[in-house]
C-alpha cells in the first residue's frame, strides 16, 4: 500500500515564543514525553505532541479523541490551516511546510477537501453557489462550474434543492452541501472534522451509512475526526486514539479491542460489543487443510458466525475471498474471544 | 520583551482587582489622605486649582494650527471648492424633483425596507415636511448627508479592514476612535472651520469625522464574528487572501456592516444638523437654532419635528435594509413593483408640468400653526408655572447649587430659612455621620464610603472641594475597580485637566452631568424594571426609546428651553431627556436575560415576585444595568457641551467661547478634558461590569 499522506513527528505548541522554545527543547532531548512536560511547566500549551501516522490510498483513517485531545489541531495542521510548530506533513511525498503560500493555495484548490463540524457554508449563497465556490476561486467559468456543482449536489442526494438558501436547510442537509462542496474539486485527500457531531443521532446514523456508500464509490484517502468511539468503529479502516496531544494507539478496531495499549484505550473498548467488531480472521486458527464442515469468509463478523455455529454446533472452516481454505474457527475460540470482555 | 512583560502585568491586575482586605485598606488610606487635605484646608491652606494654564498646551496647539493653516490653507480651500460641487448638485437635484415624486420614491424605499407600515410612516412624515414648507431647507441638509455618508462608509470600511488584518494598526485605531467619539463636536469643528472656511463643507467634514467610528467598529465586529468554520472552509477551498475577504468574510458579516451603515447615517445626520449653526448654511438645523435663539418656540418645535422625522425615516429605512428588507416575492413581482413606481413617476411628472403646484409646493398652501402653538405654549407655561418653578427652585437650591459651590456658599435664609452658621455645619455633620454608620451596618463598608464621599461633595461642592481630594478619591475608585493601569490613566487625566487650568470648568461640568445622570438613571432604571415586569409597558416604551435614540442631540434642547427658559436647570432637563434611554434599555434587557433556570429555581423555592426581583434578578442583572449607566454617563457628558447653548456653564461654555474666537487650542484642550473624563469613567465602569459578570459566571 502506498502512503498518500504522511504526518511525521508533528508538534503544535501555543504560548509566548512557543515555536522557538520547542526548537530549543527538541535540540536538547528526543524524549517527547519529557519535552511536553518541560513545555507545560513553562506555561505553554502542547496541543499536538510528536504525532506521526500514515494514511494509505483509499483508506478511512479515523482520529478519535475527547475534546481537548488535540485531534482538531492535528487535522488543521495537516492542511496548514494551523501552522505546525515542528514536524513534517508529506502529501504525495511533498512537504507541506516547505510550500509557499501560492503553492499551498494551489494544493488546496486541487488536492484537498475538507468538511467542517458546523458546516462552514456561506450564508449569502444558495446551495449550488456554495458547492461551486471552490471552483469559482480557481477561476473556472460560470457554466462549467455550475455544471460540475450540479453533479455534486446530485451525488449527495440534494437534487431539486439547488436554489434553496442555506438557512432553509436542516442540519443534515447543510452537511450534505458541505460534503458536496468539499468533493467538487475531486480532491485526493479528504479531511472530515467531526462532520456528523452536530446532527441528531438518527440523522447521524443515516449520514454515516451514506458516507460509507459514497466512499465505496469514490475511494478517497480520508482523515476523519470524531469524539464518538462508536462512530470510529463503524467507519474506520484504522483508528488513532489521541489523548493530551499524543497518539496513544493506532490500529484496526479489532486491534484496539483485543490488545488495548493502555487503560485509557481499554476504557473505551470495554463496553464495545465484541461480536460486532471482531472478524473470523482475528481469532481463527490458521491452516490450509480442508475440514468437513461449512466454511465462512475470513472477514465475516463474529455476530453472524455465532448464528451459523449455533446451528452447526462444531468448528467451521475459514476461506479467503477467493474461496481458498485458510484455517478453522472453533466454538471454544469464539467463546474465549467474547468472554474476554468480562475478564 | 519588556513590553510583553508589561502587558502581562496589566492583564493580571485587571483580571484580579485588589482582594477585599487590601481594598478596604486602600480606601482607608485614601479617606485618611482626603481628611488630611480637608484639615489643612480648614486651617486656611489654599488648594485653589490654577485658573490659568500652567503648561502651554493650548497655546502650542494654536500656534501649530496657525502654522499649519498658513502653509496648507490653500490645499484645504481647494478641497472645500471640490466638495461644493457634489453638495450643490445633490441639493439642486433634490429641489428640482417635484415634491409628489420625492414622497413616492421615499415611500417605495420605505416599503422595500419595512413593508406597509413603514411606507405609511414615510408618507405622513414627508407630507408634514412639504406642507410646513420646510422641504427646501431639508433638501440642503439631506445633500450634506448624501455626500458625507458614502465618504464615511468608504473610509470606515478601509480602516476597519486594515485594523482587522493588522494588530498594530488596530492598536493605534482603537484609542483614536475612542477620542473621535468622545471629544465634543464643537471642539474639533474649530480647526475644521479655520482650515476649510465657513460654509457647508465644514458640516460635511465634521460629520464625516464623527460618522466614521461606528462604521469602523461595526466592520471590525463583523469580520471578527465570521464563524471560524466559514473562514476555514474558505481557505480550504483555496481562496487567496483577497478572495477570502471579498467573497467570504465581508458577505458573511454583511448584516453587521449594514448596521454600521445605519449608525453612520444617523451620526452624519445628527452632526450635519449641529454643524449648520456654525456653517451658516440655510438648512433645517440653522432654522431650529435661530428660532430657538429668538425664543420663537412654536417655530422651533415645528422645525425640530422635521429633524426628528428625517432621523426616524432614514433610520427605519436603513435599518430595514440592514435586516434584509421586505420579501416582495419572485422576480416578476419585483418587476411589477418597479414598473408601477416608474409609471407613477412619469404620470406625476406629466401632472407636475401641467399643474405647477405639484412641482414646487406653493407657499399659499403652507400649513404653519406657529402662532397658535406659541399661544398654547404661553398658556401652558403660565398654568404650569407654580409647578415648574417649584421644581426648578427645589432642584437648583437644594441639589445643584450645593453640589456646585458647597453648603457654606449656598445656604441663604431666603430659601433655606436659616443662614449658614457653625450650628448648621454641626447638624449636617451629625446627619451625615448617622447615615454613614447606618449604611455601614446595613450594607457594609463600601456603602458607608460612598455615602461619606457624597456627603463631602454636598458640603464642599465640586468647586469648593480641594482638588487633591478629588484626585485621591477618583484614583482610589479606579484602582479598586479597574486596577493599576486604569488608576494611572485616571490620575494622569485629572492632572492634565488641572495643569491646563480647566479644573473649575471640569468640576462644573461633572456636577451638571452627575446630577443629570442621577435623575436619568433613577427614572430610567425604574422604567426599565417596570418594563421587565410588565410586557405591556415594554411594548409602549420600546417605540418611545427608539424615537428618543434616533433624535439628534440638538432636538432635546427644544422642549427643555420652552418650559424652563435659559439656565442650568434647562441644561439639566435636556441632559436627562437625552441620556435616559440606555438606562431604560439595559435595565430591561439585563432583567429579562437573567438565566431562566435561575429564575425557575427561585420560583420553585417559593419566592414572591418582589423578593425574586430584589434578591435574584437585580443582583444578576446589575453588571448589564451598570453598562446602561455607563452609556447614560457618556451621553450626559456629550450633552453637557451642547447644553452650553441653553445656559450650561463649565467646559461646554469654554468650548463655545473658543468657538466664537476661533481659538483652536483652548477649544481642543477643553474638549479633550471632557473626552478624558468620559474615557476614564467608561474604563472604570466597564472593568467593574466585566469583573462582576465573570464572578457571576454570566458570559
Residues of B in contact with A125 (CB under 8 A): 251
Name the 3-class secondary structure at A8. strand
Interface of A with B in 30-59 (CB under 8 A): none
How far is the alpha carbon of B238 from chain A, nearest alpha carbon, in Å? Answer: 5
Cα-based angle B584, B586, B590 (whole degrees, multiple of 5)? 120
DSSP per-residue string spanning B547-604: HHHHS-GGGGHHHHHHHH-SSHHHHHHHHHHHHHHHHHHHHHHHHHTS-HHHHHHHHH
B233 touches chain A (CB under 8 A): yes
pLDDT at residue B13 tops 50: no
Question: Any CB–CB contact under 8 A between A20 and chain B?
Answer: no
Tens-place pLDDT, residues B274-304: 877 776 677 888 888 888 888 788 888 888 8
In the prediction, which pLDDT does A142 show?
A: 93
| Shortest distance, CA A111 to any CA of chain B (angstroms) | 10
Contacts of B230 in chain A (CB under 8 A): 120-123
**Which H, E and C letters describe A173-239, residue by residue?**
HHHHHHHHHHHCCCCCEEEEECCCCCCCHHHHHHHHHHHHHHHHHHCCEEEEEECCHHHHHHHCCEE
Q: How far is B261 from chain A (nearest CA, A)?
A: 19
Distance CA A24, CA B441 (A): 60
DSSP state of B17: P
Residue B471: predicted pLDDT: 93
Partner-chain contact A114 B251, CB within 8 Å: no
> Which residues in chain A are closer than 8 Å to B238, comparing Cβ atoms?
105-106, 108-110, 134, 137-138, 185
pLDDT tens by residue, B38-87: 888 888 888 888 888 888 888 888 888 888 888 888 888 888 888 888 88
Distance from CA of A316 to the nearest CA of B (A): 51
Among A263, A246, A215, A209, residue whose Cα is nearest residue A231 = A209
- Do residues B582 and B592 lie in contact, with contact meaning Cβ atoms separated by under 8 Å? no
pTM, 2 dp: 0.81
Q: Residue A181: its chain B contacts at CB < 8 A?
A: 233, 237
What's the CA gap between A118 and A199, in Å, rounded?
10
Q: Taking residues A255-273, what's their average pLDDT?
A: 87
Residues 6+ apart with CB under 8 A from B546: none
**Best A123, A131, A225 residue to mutate vs chain B (most B CBs within 10 Å):** A123
pLDDT at B4 over 50: no
Instruction: Give B436-480 pLDDT, tens digit per residue.
Output: 999 999 888 888 999 999 999 999 999 889 999 999 999 999 998
Label residue B1 by pLDDT band (50, 70, 90): very low
Distance from CA of A114 to the nearest CA of B (A): 7
If one compares B195 and B328, the residue with the highest pLDDT of the two is B195
Contacts of A108 in chain B (CB under 8 A): 235-238
The grid coordinates of residue B567 equal 439656565
List of chain A residues whose C-beta atoms are within 8 Å of the C-beta of residue B5: none
Q: How far apart are CA B46 and CA B33, in angstroms?
A: 16
- pLDDT greater at residue A342 or residue B696: B696
The verdict on A182 touching B (C-beta cutoff 8 Å) is: yes
Determine which of B12, B230, B236, B327 to mutate to test the interface with A (most A C-beta atoms within 10 Å): B236
Distance CA B399, CA B465 (A): 16
Q: Check CB contact under 8 Å for B236 and A123.
A: no
Measured at the alpha carbon of residue B554, what is the angle toward residues B638 and B319, in degrees to the nearest 5?
A: 90
And the C-alpha cell for B645?
Answer: 447653548
Band of residue B21 on the pLDDT scale cut at 50, 70, 90: low
Q: Does B250 touch chain A (CB under 8 A)?
A: no
Q: Does A121 touch chain B (CB under 8 A)?
A: yes
Cα separation, A112 vs A118, whole angstroms: 19
Residues present in chain B in total: 699
Q: Which of B4, B229, B252 sits opposite A119 (nearest CB)?
A: B229
By CB neighbour count within 10 A (0-12 exposed, 13-18 middle, 19+ buried), where does B74 fall?
Answer: exposed
> What is the pLDDT averaged over residues B138-163?
92
Predicted confidence (pLDDT) at residue B602 exceeds the cutoff of 90: no
Q: Is residue B434 predicted with pLDDT exceeding 80? A: yes
Rounded to a whole number, what is the largest CA-CA distance in chain B? 87
Say whether pLDDT at B649 is over 90. Answer: no
B245 Cβ under 8 Å from any chain A Cβ: no
Task: Note whether B243 contacts A: Cβ–Cβ < 8 A.
Answer: yes
* A119–B239 C-beta distance less than 8 A: no
Count Cβ–Cβ pairs < 8 Å, chain A vs chain B.
72
Q: Which of A117, A119, A134 sits opposite B238 (nearest CB)?
A: A134
In Å, how far is A32's CA from the nearest CA of chain B?
A: 28
Residue A216: pLDDT band by 50, 70, 90 thresholds? very high
Residue A278's pLDDT is: 86
ipTM comes to 0.86
Residue of B nearest to A181 (CA): B237
A131 has a chain B CB within 8 A of its CB? no
pLDDT at B17 over 70: no
- Using DSSP bridges, classify how beta strands A112-115 and A189-193 pair: parallel, antiparallel or unpaired: parallel
| Rg value, chain B, Cα | 27
pLDDT of B138 strictly over 50: yes
Residues from chain A that touch B240, judged by Cβ atoms under 8 A, are: 105, 137
**Residue B4 near chain A (CB below 8 Å):** yes
Q: Output the pLDDT for position A1.
A: 57
Mean pLDDT value across residues A61-66: 94
The CA distance from B324 to the nearest CA of chain A, in Å, is 11
Of A124, A136, A181, the CB nearest to B252: A124
The predicted pLDDT at position B280 comes to 65
Mean pLDDT estimate for chain B: 87
* B237/chain A closest Cα distance in angstroms: 5
Instruction: Report the SS3 class of residue A252.
Output: coil
Residue A241 φ then ψ, to 5°: -100, 125
Residue B108 has a pLDDT of 93
- For chain A, which domains are there? 3-111+187-272 (3.40.50.300), 275-338 (3.90.1280.20)
Instruction: Tell me if chain A has a CB within 8 Å of the CB of B324.
Output: no
State the pLDDT at residue A312: 83
Please report which confidence band the pLDDT of residue B699 belongs to, taking 50, 70 and 90 as the band edges. Answer: low
- In this predicted model, what pLDDT tens digit does every residue of B334-386 receive, in sequence order? 888 889 999 999 999 898 888 888 888 888 888 888 888 888 888 888 898 88
Q: How many CB atoms lie within 10 A of CB A104?
A: 17
Amino acid at each position: 500500500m502506498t502512503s498518500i499522506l504522511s504526518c511525521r513527528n508533528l508538534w503544535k505548541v501555543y504560548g509566548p515564543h512557543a515555536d522557538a522554545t520547542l526548537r530549543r527543547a527538541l535540540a536538547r532531548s528526543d524524549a517527547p514525553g519529557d519535552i511536553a512536560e518541560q513545555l507545560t511547566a513553562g506555561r505553554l500549551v502542547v496541543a499536538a505532541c510528536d504525532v506521526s501516522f500514515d494514511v494509505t490510498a483509499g483508506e478511512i483513517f479515523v482520529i478519535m479523541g475527547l475534546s481537548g485531545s488535540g485531534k482538531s489541531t492535528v487535522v488543521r495542521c495537516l492542511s496548514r490551516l494551523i501552522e505546525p510548530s515542528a514536524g513534517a506533513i508529506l502529501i504525495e511525498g511533498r512537504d507541506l511546510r516547505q510550500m509557499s503560500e501560492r503553492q499551498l493555495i494551489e494544493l488546496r484548490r486541487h488536492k484537498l477537501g475538507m468538511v467542517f463540524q458546523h458546516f462552514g457554508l456561506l450564508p449569502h449563497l444558495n446551495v449550488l453557489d456554495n458547492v461551486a465556490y471552490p471552483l469559482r476561486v480557481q477561476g473556472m467559468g460560470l457554466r462549467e462550474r455550475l455544471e460540475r456543482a450540479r453533479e455534486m449536489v446530485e451525488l449527495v442526494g440534494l437534487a431539486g434543492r439547488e436554489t434553496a438558501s442555506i438557512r432553509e436547510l436542516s442540519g443534515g442537509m447543510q452537511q450534505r452541501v458541505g460534503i458536496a462542496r468539499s468533493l467538487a474539486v475531486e480532491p485526493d485527500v479528504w479531511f472530515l472534522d467531526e462532520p456528523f457531531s452536530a446532527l441528531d443521532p438518527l440523522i447521524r446514523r443515516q449520514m454515516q451509512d451514506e458516507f460509507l456508500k459514497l466512499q465505496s464509490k469514490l475511494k478517497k484517502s480520508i482523515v476523519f475526526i470524531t469524539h464518538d468511539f462508536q462512530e470510529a468503529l463503524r467507519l474506520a479502516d484504522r483508528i488513532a486514539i489521541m489523548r493530551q496531544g499524543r497518539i496513544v494507539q493506532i490500529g484496526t478496531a479489532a486491534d484496539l479491542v483485543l490488545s488495548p495499549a493502555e487503560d485509557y484505550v481499554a476504557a473505551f473498548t470495554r463496553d464495545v460489543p465484541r461480536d460486532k467488531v471482531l472478524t473470523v480472521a482475528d481469532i481463527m486458527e490458521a491452516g490450509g487443510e480442508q475440514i468437513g464442515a461449512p466454511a465462512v469468509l475470513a472477514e465475516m463478523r463474529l455476530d453472524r458466525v455465532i448464528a451459523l455455529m449455533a446451528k452447526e454446533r462444531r468448528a467451521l472452516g475459514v476461506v479467503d475471498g477467493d474461496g481458498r481454505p485458510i484455517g478453522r474457527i472453533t466454538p471454544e475460540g469464539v467463546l474465549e474471544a467474547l468472554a474476554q470482555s468480562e475478564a | 520583551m519588556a513590553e510583553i512583560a508589561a502587558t502581562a502585568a496589566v492583564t493580571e491586575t485587571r483580571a484580579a482587582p485588589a482582594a477585599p482586605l487590601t481594598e478596604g485598606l486602600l480606601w482607608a488610606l485614601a479617606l485618611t489622605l482626603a481628611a488630611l487635605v480637608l484639615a489643612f484646608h480648614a486651617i486656611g491652606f489654599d488648594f485653589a486649582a490654577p485658573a490659568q494654564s500652567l503648561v502651554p498646551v493650548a497655546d502650542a496647539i494654536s500656534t501649530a494650527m496657525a502654522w499649519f493653516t498658513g502653509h496648507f490653507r490653500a490645499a484645504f480651500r481647494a478641497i472645500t471648492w471640490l466638495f461644493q460641487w457634489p453638495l450643490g448638485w445633490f441639493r439642486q437635484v433634490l429641489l428640482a424633483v417635484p415634491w409628489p415624486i420625492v414622497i413616492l420614491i421615499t415611500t417605495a424605499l420605505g416599503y422595500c425596507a419595512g413593508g406597509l407600515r413603514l411606507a405609511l410612516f414615510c408618507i405622513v412624515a414627508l407630507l408634514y415636511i412639504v406642507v410646513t414648507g420646510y422641504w427646501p431647507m431639508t433638501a440642503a441638509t439631506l445633500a450634506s448627508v448624501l455626500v458625507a455618508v458614502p465618504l464615511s462608509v468608504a473610509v470606515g470600511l478601509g480602516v476597519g479592514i486594515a485594523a482587522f488584518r493588522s494588530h498594530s494598526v488596530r492598536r493605534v485605531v482603537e484609542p483614536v476612535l475612542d477620542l473621535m467619539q468622545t471629544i465634543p463636536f464643537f471642539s474639533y469643528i474649530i480647526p475644521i472651520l479655520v482650515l476649510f472656511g465657513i460654509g457647508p463643507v465644514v458640516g460635511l467634514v465634521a460629520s464625516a469625522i464623527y460618522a466614521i467610528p461606528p462604521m469602523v467598529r461595526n466592520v471590525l465586529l463583523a469580520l471578527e464574528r465570521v464563524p471560524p468554520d466559514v473562514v476555514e472552509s474558505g481557505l480550504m477551498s483555496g481562496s487567496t487572501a483577497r478572495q477570502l475577504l471579498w467573497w467570504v468574510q465581508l458577505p458573511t458579516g454583511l448584516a453587521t456592516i449594514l448596521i454600521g451603515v445605519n449608525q453612520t447615517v444617523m451620526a452624519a445626520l445628527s452632526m450635519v444638523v449641529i454643524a449648520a449653526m456654525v456653517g451658516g448654511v440655510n438648512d433645517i438645523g440653522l432654522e431650529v437654532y435661530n428660532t430657538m435663539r429668538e425664543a420663537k418656540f412654536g417655530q422651533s418645535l415645528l422645525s425640530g419635528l422635521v429633524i426628528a422625522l428625517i432621523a426616524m425615516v432614514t433610520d427605519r429605512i436603513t435599518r430595514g435594509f440592514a435586516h434584509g428588507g421586505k420579501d416582495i416575492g419572485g422576480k416578476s413581482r419585483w418587476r411589477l413593483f418597479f414598473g408601477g413606481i416608474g409609471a407613477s413617476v412619469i404620470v406625476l411628472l406629466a401632472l407636475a408640468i401641467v399643474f405647477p403646484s405639484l412641482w414646487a409646493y406653493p407657499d399659499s398652501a403652507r400649513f404653519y400653526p406657529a402662532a397658535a402653538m406659541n399661544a398654547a405654549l404661553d398658556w401652558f407655561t403660565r398654568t404650569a408655572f407654580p409647578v415648574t418653578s417649584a421644581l426648578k427652585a427645589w432642584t437648583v437650591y437644594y441639589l445643584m447649587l450645593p453640589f456646585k459651590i458647597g453648603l457654606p456658599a449656598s445656604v441663604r435664609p431666603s430659601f433655606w430659612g436659616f443662614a449658614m452658621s457653625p450650628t448648621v455645619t454641626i447638624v449636617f455633620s451629625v446627619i451625615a455621620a448617622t447615615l454613614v454608620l447606618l449604611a455601614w451596618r446595613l450594607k457594609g463598608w463600601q456603602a458607608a464610603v460612598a455615602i461619606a464621599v457624597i456627603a463631602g461633595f454636598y458640603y464642599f461642592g465640586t468647586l469648593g472641594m480641594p482638588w487633591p481630594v478629588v484626585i485621591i478619591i477618583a484614583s482610589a475608585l479606579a484602582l479598586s475597580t479597574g486596577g493599576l493601569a486604569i488608576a494611572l490613566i485616571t490620575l494622569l487625566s485629572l492632572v492634565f485637566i488641572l495643569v491646563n487650568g480647566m479644573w473649575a470648568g471640569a468640576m462644573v461640568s461633572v456636577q451638571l452631568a452627575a446630577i443629570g445622570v442621577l435623575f436619568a438613571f433613577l427614572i430610567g432604571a425604574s422604567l426599565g424594571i417596570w418594563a421587565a415586569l410588565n410586557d405591556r409597558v415594554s411594548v409602549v416604551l420600546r417605540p418611545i426609546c427608539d424615537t428618543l435614540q434616533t433624535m439628534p442631540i440638538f432636538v432635546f434642547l427644544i422642549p427643555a428651553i420652552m418650559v424652563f427658559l435659559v439656565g442650568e436647570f434647562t441644561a439639566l432637563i435636556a441632559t436627562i431627556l437625552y441620556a435616559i434611554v440606555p438606562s431604560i434599555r439595559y435595565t430591561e434587557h439585563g432583567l429579562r436575560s437573567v438565566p431562566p433556570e435561575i429564575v425557575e429555581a427561585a420560583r420553585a423555592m417559593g419566592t414572591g415576585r418582589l423578593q425574586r426581583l430584589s434578591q435574584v434578578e437585580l443582583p444578576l442583572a446589575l453588571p448589564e444595568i451598570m453598562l446602561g449607566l455607563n452609556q447614560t454617563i457618556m451621553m450626559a457628558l456629550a450633552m453637557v457641551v451642547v447644553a452650553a447653548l441653553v445656559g450650561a456653564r463649565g467646559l461646554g461654555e469654554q468650548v463655545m467661547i473658543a468657538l466664537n474666537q476661533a481659538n483652536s487650542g483652548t477649544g481642543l484642550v477643553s474638549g479633550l478634558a471632557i473626552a478624558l473624563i468620559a474615557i476614564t469613567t467608561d474604563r472604570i465602569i466597564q472593568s467593574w461590569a466585566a469583573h462582576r459578570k465573570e464572578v457571576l459566571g454570566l458570559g
